[in-house]
């Protein structure tokens, strides 16, 4: 499992393969009545957009930290494990990466209540539609899934912010 995680952390190609396979599987489950060629085409489009977004994010993080994709993956692993590097160059790169990621999370936090509110409104709207049409199972499942997803997003954001703040304090304390 660690090897798979490391490969997915470092390889954009491996991430693209996983996204593509999952996309084809989801389209096959959702759109059984359409052609498998359409599943593949739609999954390829989604994969291309996702890989493009990931590549832009990696390039931005690499420029901010002054390292390549492998270096970013290694620095992120060290952040997750609260491992402060000893090498001054690696410490400087980690400090820049932590500052960039923490700033991005703090800036994104301004919009988080609006996104969560929008998701809540969509879930409530689907519940109301389900009640009026008499089909409550799918809207209820979607609403529970939406609430679970929002809780997971909040938990992951809080955990990531705590990790980055800890790492920033550790880097400033030892530097």
Give 23-76 pLDDT, tens digit per residue. 999 999 888 899 999 999 999 999 999 999 988 888 888 888 888 877 888 888
Per DSSP, the three-state class of 104 is: helix
Q: Using an 8 Å Cβ cutoff, are 72 and 62 in contact?
A: yes
Q: Using an 8 Å Cβ cutoff, are 16 and 47 in contact?
A: yes
> What's the confidence (pLDDT) of residue 166?
95
Placement of tokens 């690696």 in the chain: 90
Q: How many CB atoms lie within 10 A of CB 131?
A: 12
State the first-to-last Cα distance of the chain, in angstroms, to the nearest integer: 35
70-104: per-residue pLDDT in tens?
788 888 889 989 999 888 898 999 999 999 999 99
| Measured torsion, CA atoms of residues 172, 169, 75, 154, in degrees rounded to the nearest 10 | -150
Residue 56 in tokens: 């832009």
pLDDT exceeds cutoff 90 at 137:
no
Residue 79 in tokens: 């952040």
Q: How many CB atoms lie within 10 A of CB 111?
A: 9
Residue 74 in tokens: 């290694």
DSSP secondary structure letter of residue 31: -
- Report the predicted TM-score, pTM, of the whole model to 2 decimal places: 0.74
CA distance 54 to 50: 6
- Least trusted range by pLDDT, from 5-19, 27-41, 45-59, 113-127: 5-19
Beta strands in 62-149, from DSSP E residues, in sequence order: none
């Amino acid at each position: 499992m660690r090897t798979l995680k490391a490969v997915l952390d470092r390889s954009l190609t491996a991430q693209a393969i996983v996204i593509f396979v999952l996309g084809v599987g989801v389209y096959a489950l959702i759109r059984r009545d359409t052609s498998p060629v359409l599943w593949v085409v739609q999954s390829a489009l989604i994969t291309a957009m996702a890989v493009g977004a990931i590549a832009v994010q990696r390039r931005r993080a690499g420029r901010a930290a002054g390292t390549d994709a492998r270096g970013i993956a290694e620095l992120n692993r060290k952040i997750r494990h609260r491992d402060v590097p000893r090498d001054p160059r690696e410490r400087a790169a980690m400090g820049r990466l932590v500052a960039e990621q923490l700033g991005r999370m703090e800036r994104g936090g301004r919009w988080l209540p609006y996104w969560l509110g929008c998701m809540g409104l969509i879930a409530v709207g689907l519940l109301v539609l389900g009640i009026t049409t008499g089909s409550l199972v799918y809207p209820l499942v979607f609403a529970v899934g939406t609430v679970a997803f929002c809780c997971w997003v909040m938990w992951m954001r809080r955990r990531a912010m705590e990790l980055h703040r800890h790492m920033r304090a550790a880097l400033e304390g030892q530097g």
